[in-house]
Chains A and B, each alone.
Chain A
Amino acid sequence: MQGRLTRTDVEAAREDLKNRTLASIGLKLGRLLYLASTRDYSTGRYYHDGLTFHFSEEVAGKALAEAHREEFIGLALGPLEDLVDQLQRYLRSVGAEPEEIFRAWEKLEPYRVAIPIDCEPLTASLFLANVKIALAIVESRQQAAR
């Protein structure tokens, strides 16, 4: 009974997260990076003050982890064309010099933090490979536009 109650709480927390926070982030890639940023890199736990205020820390953490996983799977297993479009729009929204962003993304690979902890390794590899290819496409489009 308690398990069912917790599940309902998690569902309610996910709905709250979707309507209040994620709805304001238009890009799927933006939502993914935002959800990944709510995770403590040392422990892998997710934190969100607003959600914790309305629900418990445990429920908020589970809702964030599930939303993160769902958003990740959608992008990782989705069409490459979609990822290229997302990346192009995301990089434009950052507002920095394109060359600077490309160099940082290629060298530092900040998108690695977007991978959920319990992700199947080959799906994670596909995501990393797709981002590399998408980055090369966006970069070549930028060069062609100049």
Chain B
Amino acid sequence: MTEAWPFLAVGLLLTVLVFFLIRRSIASAQDYAESPKGQDLSAALPPESFPRELAARLFGSQDWEFIAKQRSERLKRLFLQQRTALALSWLGGVRANATKLIRVHSVAARTNSRLEPLVEVRVVVDFLFVQVLCQILALIIWLRGPVNLSRFIRYADDLSNQLYEVTMRTQSRPAQ
């Protein structure tokens, strides 16, 4: 039983961390919605923050395999250092885009009296899922670099696009 304590402690710590991150994201989205900037719904949001080829290049294995062939620890370190910084920027962009979407959505929702609860729940769940997934991926990238993460990144990107589509669909519904 005592062997399980460290795992329980880590699990509890992660749960608390995720809870605070979610609370912070929602609070900042509400603040933004109340600001004049947040009221401007005409600000168009891009369907994708970055081109797909960029993610494929950053998180694929092709360049890493080439670097590994050079047999130089210095080059490997330089490559991982550069790519880790870029990968974290990419994730930051995806998170920022999701936050922008939820802010625009929350402003629109306030003026719409015919909200569909299921769609609203889906928007919030998608948003939280993108945030949590990006946090986990950031931790993985920070620990082991961005190489060979294409599949997970594509998933995060698809999720972000799904959030965009649902949000835009609710935006295009006429307010009553």
- Residue numbers of A with Cβ under 8 A of B are 77, 79-81, 84, 120, 122-123, 125-126, 129, 132-133, 136-137, 140
Contacts and interface: CB of A to CB of B under 8 A. Distances in A.
B172 interface: no
In the complex, the 7 A-B pairs of residues with the closest C-beta atoms, listed nearest first: A129-B82, A80-B63, A77-B53, A81-B66, A77-B57, A133-B79, A80-B66
Contact of A79 (B50, B62, B83, B90): B62
Given A79-B62, A81-B66, A126 B53 contact: no
Interface in B49-76: 50-51, 53-54, 57-58, 62-63, 66-67, 70, 72, 74-75
A79 B66 contact: yes
B93 interface: yes
Given A77-B57, A122-B54, A122-B90, A129 B83 contact: yes
Nearest to B60: A79
B63 to A, nearest CB: 4
A122 B91 CA distance: 11
Contacts of A123: 50-51, 54
B7 to A, nearest CB: 37
B107 to A, nearest CB: 26
A136 B89 contact: no
B136 interface: no
Contacts of A126: 54, 57-58, 86
A123 B70 CA distance: 25
A122 B74 contact: no
B98 to A, nearest CB: 16
B78 interface: yes
A79 B63 contact: yes
B86 A129 contact: yes
Nearest to A82: B66
B86 A125 contact: yes
A81 B70 CA distance: 11
B82 A132 contact: yes
Contacts of B83: 129
Contacts of B62: 79-81
